[in-house]
Chains A and B, each alone.
Chain A
Amino acid sequence: MEWVNAIVQGILLGGLFALFATGLSLAFGVMRFVNLAHGDLAILAAFLAVSFSATLEVNPFVTMALVVPIMALGGYVIQRFGFNWSIGTDPLPSILVTFGLAVVIQNALLERYSADSQGLDIGTFETRSIEFTDDIAVGWFPVLILGVAVVVLVGLQLFLSFTRMGRAFRATADDPSTARLMGINDRNIYAVVMAIAFATVAVAGLFLGIRQTFGPTDGPAQLIFAFEAVVIGGLGSLWGTLLGGIILGVAQTVGNQVDVEFNVLSGPLFGHLIFLVVLAVRPSGLLGRGRG
């Protein structure tokens, strides 16, 4: 029964990973851009929520209404006036810029908030759960996270498929120079993509902060999990990202259970190994289109 529970919890945890991975997947899909500060931005958002909920004396949930738009705006501005300069056929500049930003964010958080772990307390909702059997209980909060992840991914997919802006996203992803001939401002598209990426990762960061304690240097681990979810699911596929997140989540919770029972391999390590297996067996990912 512990194993069934581990799988159920893993699926729910996968929702969080999928949410982390959404922005990474979208930015790569549209502009072949990999933001190495992605995980640190989530942690930054969580710290912003800590500060806001302390100064405004509100539930951290409420600060989402503030943190998410601020992060989205930040994403737009930093892409429009920063990252766009590093986009090109050579991926090196963009890697260097975002890696530099990642280290700056981590250390700025260390300087401002110290290395102590923080948490976001939203009250009793976090701990409430539905008990199916004695061994299997599903928390409302993890269900909420998975629900939000599904809504975000379905919403994005619909946006890409059926709106004028979504069409422009896809055209720019195919060929930015020809997209300009259509009157599409590719630089603006990139900025909007980054705004969406920052917004979704901010939501993920807040959920993470509610789920568990976090510190200024936790960002890279989140980046790595998000990246693994994207690669497992398949580059350029949003459905793949959801699937990849869930597989990674299950791998980690099952891995933890293995650790408990047999005292070998920890959860994250198990997740990494699953990622490596997928990379070896199916490098384009489970739902990938084979490009990458």
Chain B
Amino acid sequence: MSPLLEVSELSSGYGDFRALYDISITVNEGETLAVIGANGAGKTTLLRAITGLVPTWSGSIRFDGQNLLSVPAHRRVAEGITMVPEGRLLFPSLNVRENLLVGGHGRRPGPWTVERVVEVFPLLAPLLGRPSAVLSGGEQQAVAIGRALMANPRLILLDEVSLGLAPVVVRQLYAALPQITAHGATALVVEQDIGQAMSVADQVVCLLEGRVSLEGPSAGLDRADITAAYFGMGHRTEAGSNEGQG
């Protein structure tokens, strides 16, 4: 297996705020990697840095061997990186079909069409002409995933797909993941829900306050270790030391 995405010693953030400290992760082609961590651990920043929406301060991001640093966000889509953003962020002026079509704006060749997206998410079939704003949360999330697929990605970044959705809906959505990877896309999943992440991922990376606190194959990780890495227990953390001073 060759590495599709190699992030090495990546630092990034917003304005003066540093959110990531020398993060290194690797995603192999065909594997599903789950990035877990508490709120504020830097998961979303990591994804936004990979897509180019936030600048890389230092370190490198290589995709299929190519250095992405000088590639602007809209070109990274053409390279085959796409993201389902947290909060879904559908375009309210566009109806469902148009939201899907705009996902394929870059005209990158590949298997995905509106019809195929509807095959994967049959619930969208009667909704194609509707304004996206009137959909339920689960329906919107299906559109958001479908919209990302329309770019015919090699790497699809899924940010907090389960956020704010009923468990049964989340299960439905994740059930589609094998069909997605079967069409040749590698998935990087960000989740707060550890159980959900472990069930779909081959590899797991846990972030804590902008640093990698644990990584390994999901099958081999001990639940107690994950919990410790997730909440930072047993580590001497910045927050802890500050509390000591304050």
Chain A residues engaging chain B, CB cutoff 8 angstroms = 164, 167-168, 170-171, 173-175, 177-186
Contacts and interface: CB of A to CB of B under 8 A. Distances in A.
Interface residue tally of chain B, by bracket? 20 to 34
B77 A181 contact: yes
Given A170-B91, A175-B89, A182 B53 contact: no
A168 to B, nearest CB: 6
A167 B98 contact: yes
A28 B78 CA distance: 29
A183 B98 contact: no
Interface stretch (B10-18, B58-66, B99-107): B99-107
Given A171-B93, A181-B85, A183-B77, 17 more contacts: A167-B98, A168-B105, A170-B91, A171-B91, A171-B94, A171-B105, A174-B92, A177-B53, A178-B85, A178-B89, A180-B52, A181-B51, A181-B53, A181-B77, A183-B74, A184-B74, A185-B74
24 contacts: A164-B101, A167-B94, A167-B98, A168-B105, A174-B92, A174-B93, A175-B89, A177-B53, A178-B91, A179-B91, A180-B52, A180-B74, A181-B77, A181-B82, A182-B77, A182-B102, A182-B106, A182-B147, A183-B74, A183-B75, A183-B108, A183-B151, A184-B74, A186-B74
A180 B53 CA distance: 8
Chain A interface SS verdict (over half): helix
Contacts of A182: 74, 77, 102-103, 105-106, 147, 151
A142 to B, nearest CB: 34
A31 to B, nearest CB: 14
Contacts of A185: 72, 74
A88 to B, nearest CB: 14
Contacts of A177: 53
Interface string B76-89: 01100011010001
B93 A170 contact: yes
